Chain A
Amino acid sequence: MTDTIIRFDKVVKRFGDVTVLNELDFSVQRGEKVSIIGPSGSGKSTVLRILMTLEGIEGGVVSINGEPLWHEGPDLKPASEAHLRKMRAQLGMVFQSFNLFPHMTVLRNITEAPVKVLGLSRAEAQSRANDLLELVGLTDQAAKYPHQLSGGQQQRVGIARALAMRPNILLFDEPTSALDPELVGEVLTVIAKLAEEHDLTMLLVTHEMRFAREISDRVLFFDQGRICEEGTPEELFTAPVQDRTREFLGSILKEA
């Protein structure tokens, strides 16, 4: 199956006077694993936030599965909350600072949305949660509170929580940037496992170049609100075409 599941059509995003995305065009195919890299402020996270309906857009059209996200109807009126809710159900997001609900146990963090939003019974939700905890390797932490877990464990819970809603598209907004170096590995392992075993469409904003290289089908290099270069990992990392890309990769790899 190679249909387009995400499409950005001349999308414009402004924050006050600053234009962060200037007529951005790109698309993602169903089941693709796409990594987005680039310097800070280049608009990478904004793209994810727009998809997750956390930010609106000032121009252009964002489509998911062929249907507009921020607009509805044939005349493209601004989307109502009901439309956004319908569209949002296809997406899930893993946040940089995990954003777990601190007042709920791990299990409840994962089951709360399925129960409240999808209408599952507690038992069904718990069974689903237990499977996911096994997937991320945290079965015996179910009764703990977030503050009792390490950053890596919290992020893995975050991934389980997002998966519990059975999204078609999973967005990762710099999932390991807030972690101590020794905890990054455990999270990347889980993400890699997901990439391998599931046909989820995954969009990953990251600074972990080696990881991006490993799991992605395609890599997008963002700079100043536009896609400066894109290609397969081999193309982009070994033989970048643009100077800016070379510059960026050079500085990153120097730090590594």
Chain B
Amino acid sequence: MHWTEYFSPLLQGAWVTVQLTVYSTILGAILAFAAGVGKLSSNLLLRGISVVYIEVFRGTSLLVQLFWLYFALPVAGQALGIDLRIPPVVAGVLALSLNIGAYGAEVVRGAIQSVHQEQHEAARALNFTPRQTLTAVTIPQAVPEMMPPFGNLAVQNLKDTALVSLISLGDMTFRAEQLRNFTQDSTTIYSMLLLMYFGMALVLTLMMRTLERRVGRWRGTGA
């Protein structure tokens, strides 16, 4: 096979990689907000769940989480009498989201806590409820703080999608493995694969930087 013929399967895989990254980053962001805010809640149950979620998913390996969802969960289902088998794509997106959500939650929490107490006092003086303060005052100011670390997490997520190839999900790495098995042309294939990931990461970084700028528009320079 000529190396140009590698493009087609690799690009098919690339499309899967992109979709995985997008879905899991978005779902992960939602989880990150929920757990980040939850960890700061005065409600003990909410805080407890958030803390446990964050500690468990930050303290264990992504691959362990992925394998657990794909291999172990069905067994638990058998014992309970329900079918808990999930397709590879669901296990993949779920594991990636849960993982990035846990790391993101700490970023969200840190950003929220970085908003000055004085802002909360101003809101309280104007008689905002705590929830109104959170949504109208705190979170809009926390978001620009979160963007740089979120950018790093997004790239990390992109890299992590490669692991789903290990549960036979047809992403870029999986396709590359298939090609290698077929052609034994390891050097070319893996070099191409690495360059494709590199390219995607650079594009993603660029997108995140643009997002960062748009979100922080009200900040002006310095001040």
Direct contact of A and B (CB under 8 A): yes
A residues adjacent to B (C-beta < 8 A): 52-54, 85, 88-89, 91-93, 95, 97, 99-104, 112-113, 116-117, 145, 147-148, 161-162, 165
Q: Closest 3 interchain pairs by CB?
A: A99-B122, A147-B220, A113-B126
- CB pair A112–B218 under 8 Å, yes or no, is no
Contact B218 A95 (CB under 8 A): no
Which residue from chain B places its CB closest to the CB of A164 in the assembled complex?
B126
Could you list some 13 contacts between A and B, CB below 8 A?
Answer: A54-B125, A85-B129, A88-B127, A91-B125, A93-B125, A95-B122, A112-B126, A117-B126, A117-B127, A145-B218, A147-B218, A161-B126, A162-B125
A103 near B140: Cβ-Cβ < 8 Å? yes
Bound together, the chains give a CA A60 to CA B137 distance in angstroms of 33
CB of B186 within 8 Å of the partner chain: no
- Please tell me if B2 contacts chain A, counting CB pairs below 8 Å: no
CA distance A1 to B103 in the complex (A): 61
A134 to B132 alpha-carbon distance, docked (Å): 28
Collect the chain A residues with CB atoms within 8 Å of residue B125's CB.
52, 54, 88, 91-93, 95, 162
Do the beta carbons of A147 and B124 come within 8 Å of each other? no
Given A99-B118, A99-B119, A113-B128, 6 other A-B residues pairs in contact with their CB atoms under 8 A: A52-B125, A95-B118, A100-B122, A101-B141, A117-B129, A145-B218
> Contacts A95-B118, A101-B137, A103-B141 known; A54 to B218 CB distance under 8 Å?
no
List B contacts of A54 (CB < 8 A): 121, 124-125
Bound complex: CA A104 to CA B127 (Å): 17
* B214 adjacent to chain A (CB < 8 Å): no
CA distance A103 to B140 in the complex (A): 7
B residues within 8 A CB of A117? 126-129, 132
Q: Which of B122, B125, B219 is packed against the most chain A CB atoms within 10 Å?
A: B125
Can you list, as one digit per residue, whether each of B92-118 has a CB less than 8 Å from chain A (1) or not (0)? Answer: 000000000000000000000000001
A97 in contact with B219 (CB, 8 Å): no
**Whole-angstrom distance from the CB of B66 to the nearest CB of chain A?**
38
Minimum Cβ distance to chain B for residue A228 (Å): 28
Q: B residues within 8 A CB of A101?
A: 119, 122, 136-137, 141
**Within the assembled complex, what's the spacing in Å between the Cα atoms of A145 and B126?**
19
| Contact B141–A102 (Cβ < 8 Å) | yes
Q: Are A97 and B137 in contact (CB under 8 A)?
A: no
A145 B132 Cβ-Cβ under 8 A: no
Given known pairs A95-B118, A99-B121, the reply for A165 and B127 (CB within 8 Å) is yes
> Of A147, A161, A162, which contacts B219 at CB under 8 A?
A147
How many Å lie between the Cα of A145 and that of B216 in the bound state?
12
Chain B interface category by residue count:
10 to 19
Contact A112 B220 (CB under 8 A): no
B126: nearest chain-A partner, CB-CB: A113
B120 CB to nearest A CB, Å: 9
Chain A residue, CB-CB nearest to B218 = A103
- Determine if A85 and B218 form an interchain contact, defined as CB atoms under 8 angstroms apart: no
B128 contacts which chain A residues (CB < 8 A)? Answer: 113, 116-117
CB distance from A101 to the nearest CB of B (A): 6
> B82 contacts the other chain (Cβ, under 8 Å)?
no
Contacts of A145 in B (CB 8 A): 218, 220
B223: Cβ under 8 A from any A Cβ: yes
Min C-beta distance of B75 to chain A, whole Å: 48
Contact between chains at A148 and B220 (CB < 8 Å): yes
Complex CA gap A19/B62 in Å reads 53
Q: Which positions 166-223 of chain B face chain A at CB distance < 8 Å?
A: 218-220, 223
Tell me how far the C-beta of B100 lies from the nearest C-beta in chain A, rounded to whole angstroms: 26
Q: How long is the Cα–Cα vector from A112 to B129 in the complex, in angstroms?
A: 13
Once the chains are docked, how many angstroms separate the CA of A24 from the CA of B125? 23
- Closest Cβ of chain A to B72, distance in Å, is 45
Residue on A nearest B119 in the bound complex, by CB: A99
- Report B149-175 CB contacts with A as 1/0, cut-off 8 Å: 000000000000000000000000000
| Cα of A53 to Cα of B218 in the assembled complex, Å | 30
Q: In the complex, how many angstroms separate the beta carbon of B53 from the nearest chain A beta carbon?
A: 28
Q: How far is the CB of A179 from chain B (nearest CB, A)?
A: 16
Residues of B within 8 A of A113 (CB): 126-128
A151 to chain B, nearest CB (A): 11
Residue in B closest to A113 when the chains form the complex, CB atoms: B126
Nearest B residue to A161 by beta-carbon distance? B126
**Chain B residue contacts of A52, Cβ below 8 A:** 124-125
A174 to B132, CA, bound (A): 27
Q: Select one of B121, B127, B129, B219 contacting A102, CB under 8 A.
A: B219
